[in-house]
């Protein structure tokens, strides 16, 4: 399984940030990597990011509407993202679930929209700290997969990002044992739900992945890559995270 390291810029980045993508492109173009790299900038930079990437890495979006078009002021469809050059879209990020009230059914509809438009959906799941402390993390994440991952998910059209909510932007991470256990649990739920197709779906870890912890997390056999927030904004940090893919 080819690992994927994906950067989520969230609501950060102006035209002046495109230099980071040029630096990323220069570093990656000099390699023949055995992994995939993706950057998800704000949608305002999407088309220019595709130009800056020049094929050295993929470009994706951070959200989409479930419908292909219509009277939805301010929303952006998966088809529009595809038209701008995106090949991936993140759906169900915990910030969308918490701040925009998105529920599993909304996330599943957005994942279906991504597939309709020919995009790969990165479907985010993860428990809160209270849920983990209550011993409920496996049930919560299993329920989120059941509700957010539509029938028909395959390794080609879907990536799962396990992002414990309490680890996002906090500098806190689960232990390697906890990450291994949760990724194993997610895999078993995917196989129960999707059959053989569930074995090939990449499962990323996300939540405070930084240059200094990337190697130990990315080299866990159960981890298929990372979804990286803060450490993806600067090419030098993101490249250090990516470098963690080589066994230390």
How many C-alpha atoms does 37 have within 13 Å on its Cβ side? 26
Contacts with ligand PEP, 150-189, as mask; x by CB under 6 A? -------------x----xx--------------------
**Site size with ligand PEP, rule: CB under 6 A:** 14
Element (H, E) at 187: helix 176-194
Backbone dihedral angles phi then psi of residue 230, each to the nearest 5 degrees: -50, -40
Decide if residue 218 touches ligand PEP (CB under 6 A).
no
Residue nearest to ligand PEP (CB): 229
Binding mask 51-90 for ligand PEP (x = CB under 6 A): ----------------------------------------
Report if residue 126 touches ligand PEP, rule: CB under 6 A: no
93 is catalytic: yes
Q: What are phi and psi of 36, to 5 degrees?
A: -105, 145
Render the burial of 4-41: b for 16+ CB within 10 Å, e for the rest. Answer: bbbbbbbeebeeebbebbebbbebbeeeebebbbbbbb
Least distance CB 246 / ligand PEP (angstroms): 20
- Pick between residue 79 and residue 106 the one whose CB is nearest to ligand PEP: 106
Instruction: Please identify which of the residues 79, 102, 127, 163 carries the catalytic annotation.
Output: 163
* Strand partners for 189: none
Q: With contacts defined by CB under 6 A, name the span among 24-32, 100-108, 143-151, 221-229 that binds ligand PEP.
A: 221-229
Piece of the chain touching ligand PEP by CB under 6 A; list 70-78, 126-134, 212-220, 227-235 = 227-235
Residue 209 as a binder of ligand PEP (CB under 6 A): the answer is yes
The answer to whether 206 and 186 have CB atoms below 8 angstroms apart is no
Window of 20-28, 47-55, 141-149, 226-234 that interacts with ligand PEP by CB under 6 A: 226-234
The closest alpha carbon to 189, from 209, 227, 90, 181, belongs to 181
How would you class 151 by CB atoms within 10 Å of its CB: exposed for 0-12, middle for 13-18, buried for 19 or more?
A: exposed
- Does residue 207 bind ligand PEP (CB under 6 A)? yes
Which 3 state secondary structure label does DSSP give 123?
strand
Q: Which residues are catalytic?
A: 93, 163
Rule CB under 6 A: which residues touch ligand PEP?
Answer: 8, 10, 163, 168-169, 206-209, 227-231
């Amino acid at each position: 399984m080819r690992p994927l390291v994906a950067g989520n810029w969230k609501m950060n980045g102006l035209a002046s940030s495109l230099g980071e993508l040029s630096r990323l492109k220069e570093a990656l173009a000099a390699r023949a990597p055995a992994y995939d790299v993706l950057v998800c900038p704000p949608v305002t930079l999407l088309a220019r990011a595709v130009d800056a990437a020049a094929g050295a890495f993929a470009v994706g979006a951070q959200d989409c509407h479930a419908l292909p078009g219509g009277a939805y002021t301010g929303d952006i469809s998966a088809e529009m993202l595809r038209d701008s050059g995106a090949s991936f879209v993140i759906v169900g990020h915990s910030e969308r679930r918490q701040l925009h009230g998105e529920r599993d059914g909304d996330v599943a509809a957005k994942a279906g929209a991504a597939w309709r438009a020919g995009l790969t959906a990165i479907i985010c799941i993860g428990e809160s700290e209270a849920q983990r402390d209550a011993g409920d993390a496996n049930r919560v994440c299993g329920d989120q997969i059941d509700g957010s991952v539509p029938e028909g998910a395959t390794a080609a059209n879907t990536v799962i990002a396990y992002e414990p909510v309490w680890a996002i932007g906090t500098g806190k991470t689960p232990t390697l044992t906890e990450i291994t256990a949760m990724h194993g649990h997610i895999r078993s739920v995917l196989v129960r739900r999707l059959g053989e197709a569930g074995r090939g779906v990449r499962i990323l870890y996300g939540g405070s992945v930084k240059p200094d912890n990337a190697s130990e997390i990315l080299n866990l056999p159960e981890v298929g890559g990372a979804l990286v927030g803060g450490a993806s904004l600067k090419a030098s940090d993101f490249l250090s995270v990516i470098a963690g893919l080589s066994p230390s």
